[in-house]
Chain A
Amino acid sequence: MSVEPTDTRRRFLALVTKGLGAIAGAIAVIPGLGLLAAPLRKTTVRGAGQPLRVAVDHDVKPEKPIRVTAVGEQEDAWLRLDHVTVGSCWLVRATEGAPIRAFSTVCPHLGCGIDFDEKSTKFNCPCHASTFDLSGRCLSGPAPRGLDELDVSADGHDVLVRYQRFRTGIAKKEPIG
């Protein structure tokens, strides 16, 4: 037997082995990668998107923002919760009788929880020191945009807020989900 045909056969069988192995591997890995990528195509956490009662009108005094939580329905993967804190926001009234505005407590920079400093009457981020005025405008720090304003509806007694989350770290206010 000459060396050459054996060598060709060897190389061919080696190629076949690798091919068969690659097919078997692909059968396991490709659908698995589909699972890994599923969150790119699927909304996994979903709030009700409805106005939620967060406070009563007369509790919001001029230049004294209050922090309130929005409680409502939420879907989270397989779970459906009827009564859960979906988020919190600051309620602000500029002057007596002015309409109430709501700002998400999620810092538009990297998502930390926004605080309010009563002395300077400014909102500030405890993580990276961005500051915002009472109208939500960014005064200093790394935040790429002002505080995210939420839709408010008030019927004279109750304050209702439609809670939403927005992508952080970008200049544009872009809702998530």
Chain B
Amino acid sequence: MNTGPVPVLQPARKPTGGVAPLGKRSWLEERLGLAALEQAILGGQMPGGASLWHALGSVAAGLFVLEAVTGIFLSLYYAPSVQTAWASVAFIQDQLPLGWFVRGLHSFGSSALIVVVGLHLLQVLLFGAYRKPRELNWIIGLALFGVSTLFALSGYLLPWDQKGYWAKLVEATITGSAPVVGGAAQQVVQGGTAFGNLTVTHAFAAHALALPAVFVALVVLHIYLYRKHGPTPKWWLSPEQIAARTVPAWPYQSVRDAGAGLFVVLVVVCQVAARHGAALESPADPTSSYLARPEWYALPLFQLRMYFEGPLEIVATMVIPGLCTALLMALPFLDRAPSNRPVDRKPVMIAAGLAVVVVGALSAIALGKDAHDPLYAKARAAEEARAREARRLALKGIPAEGGLAVFRNDPLNHARAIWDERCSGCHALAGTGGDKGPDFKGYDSRAWIRGFLENPEGPLYMGTAKIEKGMIAVPGTPEELDALTEMVYVETGAPDADPAKAARGRSLVDQKDCDSCHELDGEGENAGPNLKGRGTLAWTEAVIADAGRGRLFGEKNKMPKFAGKLTPAEIEDLARFVIAQKNGP
């Protein structure tokens, strides 16, 4: 409608002599006012000079950006529900190219963020930077520290693994123990009356949407107030020195910020590379008795709780942390010292020092106790084995029930079905099954091998197969038989085999005439099976596939071929099942 010329609000620029075509930069400048923005962002001064002391805040901000970027990429693959959380994280960790790396950056980056924010807080305490007129920015800083810990707490529930589940359950219960509002607060935090799908969606919404929004708003306010009041200079400088050494923040402080930031990121990258990303434990199992430990930053509180039993528990979980927070918030108003110099602020310095020592000591006690606890070590080893197994099974795809249902992929369950159908007609397991081949009870354990050497034609062994000119009993002293048993046992790849004893066994091969029927090189054919690698997965698979091969049972074999009747994957499962009999049913 309005086709007339647009009124120009600003006076047109005066041509500054000659032809001065408007470049791209000035075209944008006219419209966006970028110079003012640049000045607002980079234009600060560093009274008393730039320093690494003053880099901590920027490094924390940089780490937050790292968390945001990696978090967004992870959210492309994460699915928040009880059925999908563990499954999708296992997918990220073990199937997505570089997924483990991005998840590792996100996880170790969050630990680094908490460390850097903690150091930043201590630096502010040391420099007296919380004092007038910066009281409110101190409180905002404390709030940012609080939000950082909420990020961590909500974040490590998300994989819905044992660690996340149980740590969060303890926290939710602590929330529930608060007087008056506890029960209601717990229900809100966990998204319902019990742990379930809504717990995951609530944690995810907090972690990925609400907390970032709050954090960014607080950071903007924090930086705005920082720029308004400027950095607190080093206390040991005189006003003249401060004035003389003042430099622009860009680039003198910025280069330190960037250098320190990159250093921390590289430390994180090294951690990620060294540990192949963050841990992922087995899927959360509410029926298990998991030895729950919090993340490292919550260990002091975990240990503190140990000293308060029964009704006093709330002292450790709420009263002491609450009082500490209140004291920190009130600090700028309580501190009436005449200057920023630490000597003038002895009570603050002593209290802060003491707090650092106590937090450190509590963590050390908690770690030390676990390090010397054989029960803890055993529980850890069991969980690690379970996690490895769950993640291996997850590669085959996880059933729709998710998480724990991954154990249904266990080939042993699958193999048992094949065994019942295909093998049990001839072979028994502990007496039940057919009687045309060996019983597989305790197969390839030391006792089984020893029994076989002593009486190969026994009813549990080859006697059932009725092989002509089969294996004959090995004569020898108990020591010799033990050594020969170990020689056979070591070939199965058993981790607890004794190599010295096995070597002793090999020295007896010639004397006992084993080598007239058995080769030991893995290739040669003879009347009996080649003993090299006997009982390993590959060997067992080969026997199931075709036991009549020359280096196996050759012409004496009576077992049917299963290659072609079973798929290679089924043969592998079955072989694992057979090997698993070593440790009993």
Contacts and interface: CB of A to CB of B under 8 A. Distances in A.
A171 interface: no
B269 interface: yes
Interface in B259-298: 259, 261-262, 265-266, 269
A79 B397 contact: yes
Please classify the interface of chain A as helix (H, G, I), strand (E, B), loop, or mixed, using the class held by over half of its residues.
helix
A81 B83 CA distance: 13
Contact of A28 (B69, B84, B87, B99): B69
Given A17-B251, A20-B255, A20-B261, A34 B396 contact: no
A24 B261 CA distance: 8
B573 to A, nearest CB: 16
Interface string B58-95: 00001001100110111011000000100110110001
Nearest to A76: B397
A20 B73 CA distance: 22
Contacts of B70: 28, 32
Contact of A36 (B76, B105, B398): B76
B400 interface: yes
B101 interface: yes
Interface string B319-356: 00000000000000000000000000000000000000
Nearest to A21: B258
Given A16-B255, A27-B265, A31-B101, A78 B87 contact: yes
A10 B253 CA distance: 11
Contact of B400 (A14, A31, A81): A81
A80 interface: yes
B487 interface: no
Contact of B73 (A10, A21, A36, A77): A36
A35 B398 CA distance: 21
A35 B77 contact: yes
B97 A41 contact: yes
Interface residues of A, number: 28
Contact of B397 (A14, A16, A42, A80): A80
B396 A80 contact: yes
A165 B512 CA distance: 66
B252 interface: yes
A79 B255 contact: no
Contacts of B397: 75, 78-80
A17 to B, nearest CB: 4
Could you say which of A14, A21, A41, A78 has the most chain B C-beta atoms within 10 Å of its C-beta? Answer: A78
Given A24-B265, A75-B397, A35 B62 contact: no
B251 A24 contact: no
Could you say which of B269, B397, B399 has the most chain A C-beta atoms within 10 Å of its C-beta? Answer: B397
Interface in A30-81: 31-32, 34-36, 38, 41-42, 75, 77-81
Given A32-B73, A78-B90, A79-B398, A20 B102 contact: no
B394 interface: yes
Given A17-B258, A36-B76, A41-B97, A28 B398 contact: no
A31 B277 CA distance: 13
B97 A38 contact: yes
A23 interface: yes
A78 B252 CA distance: 49
A34 B95 contact: no
Please classify the interface of chain B as helix (H, G, I), strand (E, B), loop, or mixed, using the class held by over half of its residues.
helix
A80 B83 CA distance: 12
Interface in B387-408: 394, 396-400
Interface string A91-120: 000000000000000000000000000000
Given A32-B69, A35-B77, A24 B400 contact: no
A13 interface: yes
A31 B98 contact: yes
A29 B65 CA distance: 11
Contacts of A77: 77, 88, 91
A34 B269 contact: no
Contact of A79 (B87, B96, B265): B87
B400 A78 contact: no
Nearest to A13: B251
B335 to A, nearest CB: 35
A42 B96 CA distance: 9
A80 B98 CA distance: 22
Contacts of A31: 73, 98, 101-102, 105
A119 B100 CA distance: 57
A81 B259 CA distance: 50
B250 interface: yes
Given A14-B251, A16-B255, A36-B73, 17 more contacts: A13-B252, A13-B254, A14-B255, A18-B258, A27-B269, A31-B73, A32-B72, A34-B102, A35-B73, A41-B97, A75-B397, A77-B88, A78-B394, A80-B397, A80-B398, A81-B400, A82-B399
Which 5 residue pairs of A and B lie closest in terms of their CB atoms, listed nearest first?
Answer: A80-B397, A32-B73, A20-B258, A78-B91, A13-B251
Interface of A: 10, 13-14, 16-18, 20-21, 23-24, 27-29, 31-32, 34-36, 38, 41-42, 75, 77-82
12 contacts: A13-B254, A20-B255, A20-B261, A27-B266, A27-B269, A31-B98, A35-B74, A38-B97, A77-B77, A78-B84, A78-B90, A79-B400
